[in-house]
Amino acid sequence: MKISHITGPTNLSGEVKISGSKNAALPILLVSILSQEPIELHNIPLLRDILNAIKILIKLGVKIEINKRIYLDTKKIEICTIPKKITKTIRASIWILGPLLARFGYAKISFPGGCKIGHRKIDLHIFGLTQLGANITICDNHITGSVIGKLKGANIKLSKISVGATITIMSAATLAIGNTIILNAACEPEIVDVANFLNSLGAKITGAGSRKIIIQGVTKLHGGTYKIISDRIETGTFLIAAAISNGNIICYNTQPEMLTYLLKKLIQTGAKINIGNDWINLNMTNINPTGTDIITSPYPGFPTDMQAPFTLLNLISNGISIVTETIFENRFIHIPELKKMGAKAIIKNNSVICYGVKQLNSAKIIALDLRGSASLILAGCIADGDTILKNSDLITRGYENFYKKLRKIGAKIKNK
Ligand code: EPZ
């Protein structure tokens, strides 16, 4: 377990270049095997979850070259089985199932891993693939799927909005015979990016970004070059870094239109926001933030991935505010750690009541999930004294060069 020493309080101000989106790059890498021709991907963030997704591709036989860009040669895939030691590292490993079934008619993978933020079932992925004609059995933590002939288009209504299941069905249906309609689809920007990527290879997907996606099956995809969108959650995390520290920050290489709801909430806290085509400036100089209620919900609502950093902002803001988490059942695991630092919070069912305090103090804390760990690192930056954060390399799963970028804007962090 790595340990970080964070010395505060610091003012976090300056410029940050935002990386490519983790949650778009992961599915894009995995669904790339739907094509058998060369693919070149730009703006891929080189973080741990991405490297684990690359290990899945290498296990299948995909040839990969990383050189700022990522080059994929997916022509020769000899294996359709992924063992537990690889799948357990990331939730995203489930996204290889649909493309394998669509291209080869067979797949055997172990259950996906990922942060322990809730039950994280896979029933909707299985339901969708079954509707497309796959035969799926689950036994001893293994998911085995087969298809007689090819997948067949279907009308699929999801009983719950799921980013993961929407991607599974959309990608598998790309090579199915006939048309597929997904109703009650998730409309996160990452889904639009996956659809745009597949369309750039010759897929026929319309409606991504709405609750109804239509996929006209095609017989094959060609190769191509594609640039991944920027990471809206990384952008939001750095905006909050400035918001909690009376800072003034410019995040560039970002896409402000993907953060509309978060920006609206930040303005309610008192932040001054300016935006350009590809940058966002948040200025909190001489402003004490005001606690602001949030309720997480599927896009275009408040993103669950921003809940942990925003809760921290509320915990050091004026007044009492309520944060309600509606997507995952166990996404407050950072709260007991923040309480060790003097935060005043009460968890009631799926809400946290935040009683703002003026100053956090240093403490010995532990990072337990990705977004919670971002919130704890930021808390360390504004707490008085030396905070010792255990398991501090958890952040490298989902943020590219997080510590380096934070140091550049004024954080004092030593990693051991
Ligand atoms: C994706 O997870 C993201 N992960 C998550 O980001 C993000 O929090 C989440 O979408 C919501 O935006 C990646 O992109 C790798 P879901 P995913 O399917 O696909 C339930 C981060 O920190 N559900 O939309 O797993 C599920 O339990 C990560 O970057 C079922 O019941 O999320 C949850 O309660 C964490 N059955 C809800 O739906 C299913 O088959 C939404 O999950 C699938 C999901």
What is residue 84's predicted lDDT score, i.e. its pLDDT? 87
What is residue 85's predicted lDDT score, i.e. its pLDDT? 87
Cα 236 to middle of ligand 1, angstroms: 18
Q: What Cα–Cα distance (Å) separates residue 373 from each residue in 39, 53, 116, 308, 380? A: 34, 21, 13, 9, 10
How far is it, in rounded angstroms, from Cα 391 to Cα 386?
16
What atom of ligand 1 comes closest to residue 90's alpha carbon?
15
What atom of ligand 1 comes closest to residue 117's alpha carbon?
35
267 and 290 in contact (C-beta within 8 Å)? no
Identify the segments of the chain with pLDDT beneath 50.
none
Q: Is 227 annotated as a binding residue?
A: no
Q: Is 91 annotated as a binding residue?
A: yes
What is residue 215's predicted lDDT score, i.e. its pLDDT? 98
What is residue 140's predicted lDDT score, i.e. its pLDDT? 83
| 3-class DSSP assignment, residue 163 | helix
Question: What is the full DSSP assignment across 66-135?
Answer: EESEEEEE-S-----EE-HHHHTT-GGGGGGHHHHHHHHSEEEEEPP----SS----HHHHHHHHHTT-E
Residue 119's contacts (CB-CB under 8 Å, 6 or more residues apart) are 329
The correct CATH number of 3-18+230-415 out of 3.65.10.10, 3.40.630.10, 3.40.630.30, 3.40.190.10 is 3.65.10.10
Q: Is 33 annotated as a binding residue?
A: no
142 and 109 in contact (C-beta within 8 Å)? yes
CATH fold for domain 22-227: UDP-n-acetylglucosamine1-carboxyvinyl-transferase; Chain (3.65.10)
How far is it, in rounded angstroms, from Cα 290 to Cα 394?
30
Can the peptide bond before residue 9 be classed as cis, meaning omega within 30 degrees of 0? yes
Kindly state the tokens that stand for 194.
């996956």
Interhelix angle 232-243/260-269, nearest 10 degrees = 10
How wide is the angle at C-alpha 230 spanned by C-alphas 225 and 234, nearest 5°? 145
Q: What is the CA 392 to chain-centroid distance, rounded? A: 18
41 and 226 in contact (C-beta within 8 Å)? yes
What is residue 65's predicted lDDT score, i.e. its pLDDT? 97
Cα 201 to middle of ligand 1, angstroms: 26
182 and 170 in contact (C-beta within 8 Å)? yes
Q: Where are the beta strands (DSSP E) in 314-391?
A: 320-324, 344-348, 351-355, 364-366, 385-390
Ligand 1, atom 20: nearest CA belongs to which residue?
120
What is residue 68's predicted lDDT score, i.e. its pLDDT? 82
347 and 339 in contact (C-beta within 8 Å)? no
Ligand 1, atom 16: nearest CA belongs to which residue?
162
- Residues with CB under 6 Å of ligand 1 are 23, 26, 91-92, 115, 118-125, 160, 162-165, 186, 188, 304-305, 327-328, 370-371, 398
Active site residue 187: no
Kindly report whether the global pTM for this prediction surpasses the value 0.85: yes
What atom of ligand 1 comes closest to residue 329's alpha carbon?
34
Domain ranges, ordered by start, for the chain = 3-18+230-415, 22-227
